[in-house]
Amino acid sequence: MFRSNDLKQVSTNKIYKYYSYDCDEEKMFAPFLKNTLRYRHPSSLNDPYDCYICKKNGGFYESIRKIEMRNVFVCSLTTSCDDILMWSHYATNHQGFVLEYDLEKLRTINECQLEDFSYVEYSDDVIEKTTRDFLSDTSSERKSLKAIFHKSKCWEYEKEIRSVLYGSLYSKNDYHDITLPDNSISAVILGSHFISKHKSIPKLLQNMYINNQLFYMQLQAGSYRLQKECGSLEEYFDSI
């Protein structure tokens, strides 16, 4: 199993994940209704250079790298729920929603070979592996893990947090859903244009209040900055 000694673990307790709009409400809200978190294979992530390692040693060592990554699954979250670009890119132009998670609860997930939630590091330089690295199990694993938590500086605005799941048990698909401990989801935050795709109050939303609260995003007056508001569905409709 890879080691997390070189990773910067997350200190804040509230973390977030953006979810896109889907006309099938049950499918769209499945992460909330089923209380699950999805881990994806790196090959299915939106950045083709995600988990990239510079191939200094030709095709043979690239094959070894692919074997190392074959049973790796990544879950991406963030410390930010009010980034206007991420609402556009990952929540279907602000028509989706964000789930807020309690990190202390997530860290009690009873799943084998789960790497803790750690910050992604951003750099203009890629991770490199030499022949010596490939011949050393410890060095090879450390650099593979570092690559998973390493991205180009152009992604720095995402303030990304990652957790990694390892194991051949999950390799039949390009994703694996983990069931979360009870009360791991601490808030539902609707996008500022969520209702543009939902002409009437979705029935499922009636069951999505947490502690009698529902949150939604709004532009601040006279600004392009988003702010989180708390209220009822009726107050959300009135704000649009």
Q: What pLDDT digit, counting tens, does each position of 205-235 carry?
A: 666 667 667 899 999 889 999 999 987 766 7
Please provide the DSSP assignment of 175-192 as one string: EEEEEPPTT-EEEEEE-T
Interval 155-175: pLDDT, tens: 999 999 999 887 756 566 788
pLDDT at 20 over 50: yes
Average pLDDT, the chain: 79
Work out the burial of residue 17: count CB atoms within 10 Å of its CB; fewer than 13 is exposed, 13-18 middle, 19 or more buried.
Answer: buried
Question: What mean pLDDT do residues 190-210 have?
Answer: 69
The predicted model scores a pTM of: 0.83
In percent, the amount of the chain with pLDDT more than 70 equals 68
Mean pLDDT of 85-95: 95
**Phi, psi at residue 110, to the nearest 5°?**
-95, 75
Domain ranges of the chain: 14-239
At 135 the pLDDT is 45
